[in-house]
Amino acid sequence: MRFVVEVSGSLSGPLPDRFPERAHLALAPVVEELVREHCREGVIPDDVFLSIEFIDEEGMRELNMRFLGEDSPTDVLAFPIYTSDGGFSFPGDIPACLLGDIVVCLPKVEENALQAGLPFLRELSLVLVHGLLHLFGLDHDTEERRTDMWRTQELYWDTIEHRLSFPAGPERNDKKERIDQ
């Protein structure tokens, strides 16, 4: 299975160097595991595509109002392609799976990190895994589903943060110092 992540939008500010490569490195093993877990009858697509868009607070406020009726910016929104009835529903009869879009508002991520006393990269990892889980049909609209989503989020949060915090590319070495500490 080949995984492709497209990162676009405002890539300035607190994002680590070479973020698109790091995002691919961080998300690929999690996406592969989730695809294998959620695809019906074991039909795994040849290619899996994901889009991550970084936008400002006004853009996020507009999206949040349009799709959720909330007139304020939020940290992350997810727009899944293959979810229905509260679950992932990839049809399996096509070779490529377009998971959907994760839209992130970096100013809100920074604000949340400060409020929670977390490093920025830790909070960014949380919103990426949170958005990714929404693409697979997980949600927090009921107490039971929230508990399940939070438990699953915890499983992948450290993995994504760990993989985002090391250099991407051929010079990558897991023994190097983390960039956010």
pLDDT digits (tens, 9 = 90+) for 44-90: 888 999 999 999 999 999 999 999 999 999 999 999 988 777 777 77
pTM of the model: 0.85
What is the rounded distance in angstroms from the CA atom of residue 106 to the CA atom of residue 58? Answer: 12
Phi and psi at residue 4, in whole multiples of 5°? -125, 125
pLDDT of 87 reads 76
pLDDT digits 0-9 by tens, 28-49: 899 988 888 887 666 788 899 9
Tell me what pLDDT residue 57 has: 94
The three-state secondary structure class of 155 is helix
2-164 maps to CATH 2.60.40.2580: no
**Closest of 161, 168, 36, 162 to residue 109, by C-alpha:** 161
Give Cα separations from 11 to 30, 31, 104, 129, 147 (angstroms). Answer: 23, 22, 11, 19, 32
**What is the residue type of 150?**
W
pLDDT of residue 16 exceeding 90, the answer is no
- Angle, alpha carbons 44-45-46 (nearest 5°): 120
Are 149 and 157 in contact by the 8 Å Cβ rule? The answer is: no
Looking at residue 179, its pLDDT comes to: 33
